[in-house]
Amino acid sequence: MKPVDNKLEEIVLKAIEEIESKTWGVTRQFLDIHQVVYVDAKPKVERVDWDKEDGTVIVYFPVKDQKFFLAICLETVPEVQINGIYIEPYISVYFSAGSETIDLDMLTSMTSLKATSTWKKGDLKRSGGSVVNKINRFMIEPNIGPDEFEDKMKKVLDVLEIDKKGIRQLVKKADGYIQVAMEFHNGNTMLGGPNIGKETIVRMAALNLEIDFDLYVAGKFYK
């Protein structure tokens, strides 16, 4: 549940205060090698996540020239105080279906769900240059921006289950699957990784879904 406005302001100010004062060792260690993005001389807040069952709130700050985020966790009861700080990797989780032979209009007609992005065979790739797309592709990524892997997986499955029949058809006819891309901070080389729980596996199996991971690292090592 979203905190009331005055509590939300207090949460954000407490997180910003930590970036400016660096009272936690992890803050000092990270900001010694990287810098968060500033707007109007203040750290930019990318997102405030207040969806945790235990009442914890996470404030995400974008990192200059990087895709990952500095995440500051705060408890709000009985008072607002920081209870953890970590680096949240960039995470993209989406459903993808593609075909060389089935045209894009046919792919989109197989489900009642709306694509968040598409590629059309023969069109120039978005990365620029003269390279063209070799297949038609239909993608659904409902949760864009900083968030935890488990939350992103849940969100994409919530959306896909709205049209189970259509998604199964895309899986069968256009190799539909879940794609995950993650970019971690190099740090001390202890990257961690995603966890796929039993419930998520069962939900994926019901849609006959495979999952593919692309993992990257970036940024500077800790001193």
Sheet holding 90-99, edge to edge: 117-119, 136-140, 90-99, 177-187, 211-221
CA dist., res. 3 & res. 166, Å (int): 37
Q: Is 74 exposed, middle or buried (0-12, 13-18, 19+ CB in 10 A)?
A: buried
The confidence band for 52, taking pLDDT boundaries of 50, 70 and 90, is confident
**126 pLDDT exceeds 90?**
no
pLDDT of residue 83: 94
Q: Which tokens is 153 given?
A: 């997986």
pLDDT of residue 78: 86
Stretch 169-174: mean pLDDT: 96
Kindly state the percentage of the chain with pLDDT values over 70: 96
CA dist., res. 41 & res. 63, Å (int): 15
pLDDT of residue 124: 75
Q: Do residues 33 and 223 make contact, with C-beta atoms less than 8 angstroms apart?
A: yes
The residues spanned by each domain of the chain are 5-88, 90-221
Cα dihedral 38, 40, 45, 46 sign: negative
57: β partners: 74
Q: Do residues 55 and 64 make contact, with C-beta atoms less than 8 angstroms apart?
A: no
CATH number of 5-88: 3.10.450
The beta strand positions in the chain, using DSSP E, are 38-39, 42-43, 47-49, 57-62, 69-75, 81-88, 90-99, 117-119, 136-140, 177-187, 211-221
**57 pLDDT exceeds 70?**
yes
117: β partners: 139
State if pTM tops 0.75: yes
**4 pLDDT exceeds 60?**
no
Q: How far apart are the first and last CA of the chain?
A: 39
The amino acid sitting at 165 is K
Q: Which tokens is 114 given?
A: 């709306």
pLDDT of residue 3: 55
